[in-house]
Each structure stands twice: as C-alpha cells, then as structure tokens.
Amino acid sequence: MASNRLLPDTCAWIDFFRGSSTPLAAALEQGVLHGELLTCGVVVMELLQGVKSPREETMILNAFEALTHLEMSRELWATAGRLAAGLRSDGHNVPFSDIVIAVLALQHNCAVLTADRHFELIPNLAVTKG
C-alpha cells in the first residue's frame, strides 16, 4: 500500500486519550504528528458513548475537527453488507462498526490502526498493529 494514511479504530483512540503507553497509542500519536489520520462517524459515536463528562466530550470533538471525516455512500453500505455476509458465511461475525471502518479504509486506501484481530479476516485490508 502506497498510502501512509491511517483510520484508527476506537481502541486506538481509547489508548491515546487515556495516555496509555501502548504501541497502539504511540502509532496514533505518530499519525497525529504526521497528519496521516482519518476518522469516521462510527468511531466518533463509539467514543462519545463512553464519555464521563462534558469536558471529555468536548476534548474528543475538538480533536476530531482537525481530521478528514470519511462518509459512507449508498454503494459502500451495499459493499459493507456483502462483506459482512461473506464473513458470516465463513463462520466469522465481525461487529457492524468494524465492517464500516474496514469498508471505508478499503475505499480510501488507508490502513486500519487497531488491536482487534478480526480486521485481519477482511481481504485486502491493510492493518497496522502499532
């Protein structure tokens, strides 16, 4: 893959916002420094469902203002449905949110930054572990 752009999964953002000293948080920090990060609605939603204060919510929303936000098109929703069905027929139930993240990453030629192994089940998806 020629692109260095990353679409971090929610787990990477959680490590980053908690100030964890993990390879995932370090990789995300490098992405921030190099302007390589993208985001999408499902990641924002997953992060906001876990906030504990208005201050945390504001911090998250402000951080995401600087990032390119990827959107799902009608065609991508159909692609996501076919991908989920194919994985399920192979015996793999990948969470809805991760299917959306994967399809967006594939469409926009970027890698998913994650600790979740099920992303490795998705054909042609670049996965960065941090």
Burial of 37 (0-12, 13-18, 19+ CB in 10 A): buried
15 phi-psi bin (left φ>0, alpha ψ -120 to 50, beta other) = alpha
pLDDT confidence bin for 103, thresholds 50/70/90: very high
Q: Which CATH architecture has domain 6-128?
A: 3-Layer(aba) Sandwich (3.40)
Domain boundaries, the chain: 6-128
pLDDT at 82: 98
For the segment 112-119, the average pLDDT, to the nearest whole number, is: 95
Residues in the chain, how many? 130
Contact (Cβ atoms closer than 8 angstroms) between residue 67 and residue 32: no
3 band by pLDDT with thresholds 50, 70 and 90: low
